[in-house]
Structure 1
Amino acid sequence: MAEDTPFTIKSDSPVAGALMLEIEIDTLSRQGGRSYNEDVFGQWNDGRFLACVVADGAGGHGGGDVAASIVRSSVLSGFAAAPGLDREALRRLLQQANRDVVARQAEGGTLAAMRSTVVLAAIDLHENAVVWAHSGDSRAYLFRGGAPVVRTIDHSLVQQMVAGGMIDEEAARLHPKRNMLLSALGSLESLPEITVSERMALAVDDVLLLCSDGVWEPLGDACLCETLRTSPGPGRWMEQLDTEIRARARPGYDNYTAVALWLHRGGEHDEVVRPLPEPPGP
């Protein structure tokens, strides 16, 4: 769920004369209209490098939630062992997470068909840069001046339809086949598609959002922007997103999870660095 008090991650050793950024973080994760939550989120940081991840499991209770938790653990532990923004290294983290999910599928039963989407953002607080990687339709957004300047492109059937000019983004959001994924972690026969962004510079007042499809699908980019512009900080934004999702919800609506990261000039906040809270594992 959303935390009552957002917290700030600070650079432990800023480069002399360079702009020092701090990241204020808040989160939201709810089961929606489902009987359990297959979404997970988490973070790791060492004062310079920060990794945040959101994973959305599929495959039923005891399956999807397990897959998402495996992905979170694999990606964050791998990043902690060798933190950095190397694009191929980040790709390998998701490839290893895929192998880890497949290994657990061998136990059979409810785990045999489990899958998980994933989106990872890796940030360098010394060089003020981010690289993200994803598979599936969990998204990362970079907002600047209250507007999205770049986001991940879903690995889904409707996204291919958008790319082909058959429908627009709004029609894709409402399309009956919007949940048909072309890639997710949990397969060795047909390796999942993994997209890694170029290195992107970050600036004061930028906002990053990582979220599962349970957030962006019912709201759309217009609502994300409108609520962002009227929010003084990430805590209030998470509250507004929660309210909007509930207001637009249909029976049996999806789990929804979001991690918001607001970038401030160093020295604006005094909170003590602490781990990002995580929902209990399966």
Structure 2
Amino acid sequence: MNSYKIEAGTAQHIGNRPQQNDRAAVFSGSRAPGYMLAVLADGVTGGAAASEQVLHTAKLLFDEFKPGDAPSVERLSGLLREIVHETHLVIKLNAVATGTEQHCTFAALIVTPAGQAVWAHVGDSRVYRFQKAECKMRTGDAGYIDYLMETDRLPAEAARNHRHSKLLVNVLGNSRKEPFVAIGSHEALKAGDIFLLCTDGLWHFFTDAELGAVLAKNSPRQASEMLINKAGERAQGKGGNCTMAIVKLVAPPKEAPNYKVQKMGRAV
């Protein structure tokens, strides 16, 4: 039995943009009791349609997932890759039908009843893991840069500048290149582990230490309100969409003693 309970939630703010193109959700699996999927997407071009498709596909495939006995990290990673590639295909087909190319980032996290966490990301939306207030991991572009240097034979500087190239940008829906999915995992989850999935409208304004301090001391709802408000202040009227999903593992409440109620005798 796990020595923690899960507190989770999502939050978003439009920032200083004309519309909200980000989406985030937390799902339980219809055929996977005790499993949880958090997913987030940032619509880069074409509005919110691509982000909406991420959530739709993620829920559909997660509801179909049957874990069996103790699925491996590889199998859970395969589910996240399947969500990415199925969504990527649908977004490209929609672009052909509408004549408008749609792009979005992707970040997702699976937490299992066996104390496993597996995450994936595409693009510049991030996944963080904290142990209490200390940042133990955050996703980045290093894996994709190495991939470009190895598969496309690009020099290091050209690979680092991939966001400036329509050919090389790593997003879902790019008709010129398949998305590169970076995968990570952690075993033996325990109370004090905290995961944050967020778009660049949030992480751009905070250090790892600041994020960890707020998440460790507050509930997901309280933390999201504080972070959104502070991001708005620091953006100084130039902030983008700000979206996050927070998954916090906390110690369960202590059981109350099993008192017996007895009738008191009358005092004489």
Where on the TM-score scale, by shorter chain, does this alignment land: which range? Answer: 0.7 to 0.9
Q: CA deviation at 1:195?
A: 1.0
CA 1:22–1:178 in structure 2 vs 1: closer, same or farther (change >3 Å)?
farther
Moved more, 203-212 or 76-85: 76-85
CA distance in 2, matches of 1:30, 1:268: 36
Opposite residue 252 of structure 1, the aligned amino acid is K
CA distance in 2, matches of 1:268, 1:187: 50
Opposite residue 57 of structure 1, the aligned amino acid is G
For 1:227, the equivalent position in structure 2 comes to 214
CA distance in 2, matches of 1:49, 1:233: 21
**Paired residue total:** 231
8 A Cα contact 1:21 1:264, kept in partner: yes
1:154 aligns with 2:141: yes
Secondary structure in structure 2 of the residue aligned to 1:201? coil
> 5+ residue gaps in structure 1?
1-17, 167-171, 270-282
For 2:16, the equivalent position in structure 1 comes to 33
For 2:48, the equivalent position in structure 1 comes to 65
CA 1:103–1:267 in structure 2 vs 1: closer, same or farther (change >3 Å)?
farther
Opposite residue 14 of structure 2, the aligned amino acid is Q
TM-score (structure 2 length as normaliser): 0.77
Alpha-carbon displacement from aligned partner over 1:208-238 (angstroms, at most 9, x marks no partner) = 1111111101223232123234x33222211
1:208 aligns with 2:198: no
> 5+ residue gaps in structure 2?
68-72, 149-154, 256-268
CA 1:71–1:148 in structure 2 vs 1: closer, same or farther (change >3 Å)?
same
Secondary structure in structure 2 of the residue aligned to 1:104? helix
1:264 aligns with 2:250: yes
CA 1:128–1:148 in structure 2 vs 1: closer, same or farther (change >3 Å)?
same
Alignment of 1:135-174 (within 5 A): 135-154=122-141
CA 1:178–1:194 in structure 2 vs 1: closer, same or farther (change >3 Å)?
closer
Secondary structure in structure 2 of the residue aligned to 1:43? strand
1:88 aligns with 2:78: yes
CA 1:83–1:50 in structure 2 vs 1: closer, same or farther (change >3 Å)?
farther
Secondary structure in structure 2 of the residue aligned to 1:246? helix
Q: CA deviation at 1:72?
A: 1.3
Moved more, 39-48 or 195-204: 195-204
Q: CA deviation at 1:89?
A: 2.7
CA distance in 2, matches of 1:140, 1:103: 28
CA 1:262–1:178 in structure 2 vs 1: closer, same or farther (change >3 Å)?
farther
Q: CA deviation at 1:188?
A: 4.4
Q: CA deviation at 1:268?
A: 6.4
Secondary structure in structure 2 of the residue aligned to 1:36? coil
For 1:99, the equivalent position in structure 2 comes to 89
1:122 aligns with 2:110: yes
8 A Cα contact 2:115 2:188, kept in partner: yes
Opposite residue 265 of structure 1, the aligned amino acid is A
CA distance in 1, matches of 2:226, 2:135: 18
CA 1:178–1:22 in structure 2 vs 1: closer, same or farther (change >3 Å)?
farther
